[in-house]
Amino acid sequence: SLDDQVAISSPETLAALRTAASCLKDLFPVAFPTETVYGLGAIALNATAALKIFSTKGRPADNPLIVHVSSRRMLQTLLPQNYTLSPSYELLIEHFWPGPLTLLFPCDHSLIPDIITAGQPTVAIRMPSHPVARALIAVTDAPLAAPSANSSGKPSPTRAEHVLNDLNGKITIILDGGPCEVGLESTVVDGLHEDGNIRILRPGGITVEDIKRVLVKGFSDANTPIPQVLVHRRDFRDDALEQAPTTPGMKYRHYAPSVPVTLMRMSDAPLGIEPLSPSAFLQDLKRSMPHSSDILRVGLLMPSDSILMKSLINDTTIQWHEFPFGLVSEPAIIARRLFDGLLTLEREGVDLILVEEVPEENEGLAIMNRVKKAAGSSQWITIP
Ligand code: TXA
Ligand code: MG
C-alpha cells in the first residue's frame, strides 16, 4: 500500500532499524537493502548528510540522487504547493509503487538541497517496496536520498556482502536484508514534458512493456490520446547516436568490475566487423590475453541453455568459471544475477569475464544497458 503502515517482524529488527535511524539523524550514511540494489542512504533534506554520500562513493557532484519515500503522504511533503499529479503519473504510481520505478517531479528548490538535484530543475523520487527500506524510511520519519551502495563506477551491490567488500571502513552500518529480488536499479521516468509523453531515461526494474500496458489500459476510456513511451537507446559503439541526454549519471563509465568484460554478441555484426567462430575467438584470446597463473581463467555469464557456452567450454585448456545465470527465456532471473555474477567472478580472480547478449526486450533492455557499460569490448560470434 501507499501509506505509512509497515510491519516489523521482531524486536531485533526494530532495534536495528532504530540504531540505523539514529545514525542517519547524526548525518552519517547507512547502507540498506531495496528490492533493486542496496542503497547508501542519508537524510535527503540535509545537505551535509547528502554530501557524505558523494564523498563515500567518490561520486561526481553533477550526478543527482534519487529521494526515497515510504508513503504517499511523504511524497506530498516534497512536492511544490498546489502541484497536482498528471493522470499518467497517477496511473504509474497506482500500478508500480511501491516498486522499482523512479519518477521525476518539479523541484521545490527552497526545500530540496541543490546537492541532491545537482543543478537539474527536477527531483527524482521513488517509493521502494523492500520492507526493510520502507521501514527504515518510516522509522527515521524522513525521506532518504540513496544511490547504489558501491564505489562510483563499480557494479551495484545486490547482497550485503557486496557492500561490505566495497565500502568496508567507510561506513558504519549495513542493514542485511538478503539478496535483492530485482537485481538492477529502478527505471527512471520523465513524464514532465509539455507533450505529455513518457520518457524512459534509464531502463530498469519496471519494463517499458509494463509501462506501455498500464498507460494503454488506463487511457482507454479517456478522451485524451494515450501518452507515448519514448526510450533513449544507446549503443556504446556509437556515442554520437545519443545526442539527447538520458540521466546525468548515464554518461559515466559504470558497472565495471576491475576485470575486463567482453560482450559476446550473436546478433548481426556491424559493417566492417568480421564475426569469429567460437574456436577462432578462443585462439585469439589465448594469444592476446595476459594472465597471471599458468592457465587462463575465464568467467562466464551466460544462460544455462546457451549454445555459445556449450561450444566454448569444450576447450579444456581454459579454466572456466560458470556463474548460474538462468535460462534464455528467463530475463528476470538474468537481471537478478547480473551484478552478483560480475562481483562474484571478480572475487574469484578470473582474468576475463564473457557476458552473452540477451534480446533487448522486457528485462533484457535494462540488462543490455548495464552490460554495454560494463563491457570494455564486444566480440561478434558465429554459431554454426
Ligand atoms: O534502484 C535504484 O534506483 C537504486 C536504489 C538504491 O534505489 N538507486 C540508484 O541510484 O540506482 P543511483 O544514484 O545509482 O542512480 C540514480 C540515477 C542516475 O542515473 C541519476 O543521474 C538519475 O538517477 N537521476 C537522479 N535524479 C535525476 C534528475 N533529477 N533528473 C534526471 N536524472 C536523475
Ligand atoms: Mg549507481
Q: Which three cell numbers stand for residue 221?
A: 476510456
Residues 307 and 232 in one domain: no
Mean pLDDT of the chain: 91
Which range is least confidently modeled, 7-16, 186-195, 321-330?
A: 7-16
CATH of the domain at 75: 3.90.870.10
Question: In angstroms, what is the span from residue 300 Cα to ligand 2's centroid?
Answer: 23
**Axis crossing angle, helix 131-140 with helix 11-25, rounded to the nearest 10:** 50
pLDDT at 242: 35
Which residues contribute to the annotated binding site? Answer: 36, 59, 63, 68, 122, 126, 146, 148, 156, 186, 202, 255
Model confidence at 245: pLDDT above 60: no
Q: What is the pLDDT of residue 240?
A: 32
Give the range of the structural domain holding residue 321, as residue numbers without chain letter.
261-380
| pLDDT (0 to 100) of residue 247 | 62
Show the cell assigned to 30. 547507512
- Grid cell listed for 105: 517531479
Judgement on whether residues 120 and 241 belong to the same structural domain of the protein: yes
Average pLDDT rounded to a whole number, residues 293-318:
93
pLDDT tens digit string along 125-141?
999 999 999 999 999 99
- The contacts of residue 122 (CB under 8 Å, 6+ apart) are 104, 105, 106, 107, 190, 192
Look at the block and give the residue holding cell 550526478. 63
Considering the domain architecture, whether residues 208 and 282 belong to the same structural domain is answered as: no
- One domain for residues 234 and 272: no
Q: What is the band of 119 on the pLDDT scale with cuts at 50, 70, 90?
A: confident
Domain count, the chain: 2
Confidence of residue 3 (pLDDT cuts 50, 70, 90): confident
- DSSP annotation string for 69-85: -SSHHHHHHHSPTT---
Predicted confidence (pLDDT) at residue 124 exceeds the cutoff of 70 = yes
pLDDT digits (tens, 9 = 90+) for 173-191: 999 999 999 999 999 999 9
- The cell for 233 is 537507446
pLDDT at 241 over 50: no
**Between 21 and 248, residue with greater pLDDT:** 21
Q: How far is CA 162 from CA 36, 39, 199, 252, 312, in A?
A: 14, 12, 31, 21, 29
- Pairing of β 144-145 and β 66-68: antiparallel
Q: What is the pLDDT of residues 143-160, one digit of tens each?
A: 999 999 999 999 999 999
Specify whether 8 is located in the same domain as 65: yes
CB 203 within 8 A of CB 361: no
Confidence band, pLDDT 50/70/90 cuts, at residue 276: very high
| Mean pLDDT, residues 58-68 taken together | 93
Residues 333, 188: one domain?
no
Q: Which pLDDT tens digit goes with each residue over 95-116?
A: 999 999 999 999 999 999 999 9
Percent pLDDT > 70 in the chain is 93
Residue 110 grid cell: 527552497
219 in the same domain as 98: yes
361 CA to centre of ligand 2 in angstroms = 22
- In this prediction the pTM is 0.93
Give yes or no: residues 294 and 236 share one domain: no
pLDDT > 90? residue 251 = no
Distances in Å between the Cα of 328 and the Cα atoms of 117, 143, 235, 323, 364 are: 38, 38, 22, 14, 10
pLDDT band at 93 (very low <50, low <70, confident <90, very high): very high
How far is the C-alpha of 333 from the C-alpha of 116, rounded, in Å? Answer: 32
Quick one: average pLDDT of 258-283? 92
- 192 CB near ligand 1 (under 6 Å): no
Atom 21 of ligand 1, nearest CA residue: 249
- Among 216, 249, 282, which residue terminates a domain? 249
Does residue 187 sit in the same domain as residue 297? no
Do residues 150 and 233 share a domain? yes
Indicate if ligand 1 lies below 6 Å from the C-beta of 188: yes
Q: Choose one of 192, 215, 249: the last residue of a domain.
A: 249
Same domain, 269 and 228: no
**Mean pLDDT in residue range 245-259:** 67
Query: Cell for 140?
Result: 527515521
Decide if the complex's ipTM is over 0.95. Answer: yes
CA distances to 46, 141, 168, 227, 336 from 172, in Å: 19, 20, 8, 45, 27
CA separation for the pair 56, 90 (Å, rounded): 35
Contact 147, 59 (CB under 8 A): yes
Decide which of 294 and 124 is more confident: 124
* 39 occurs within a structural domain: yes
- Domain closes at, from 201, 219, 249: 249
In the prediction, which pLDDT does 2 show? 73
Q: Is the CB of 202 under 6 A from ligand 1?
A: yes
Q: Does 256 fall in a domain?
A: no
Answer yes or no: is 104 within a domain.
yes
Following CA atoms 152, 157, 162, 166 in sequence, which dihedral angle do they give, to the nearest 10 degrees? 10
Contact criterion met (CB below 8 Å) for 20 and 29: no
Q: What is the CATH number of the domain that holds 348?
A: 3.40.50.11030
Which residues pair with residue 31 across a beta bridge?
40, 174
Most ligand 1 atoms within 8 A of CB, residue of 34, 37, 40, 66 to mutate = 66
Q: Are residues 194 and 95 in the same domain?
A: yes
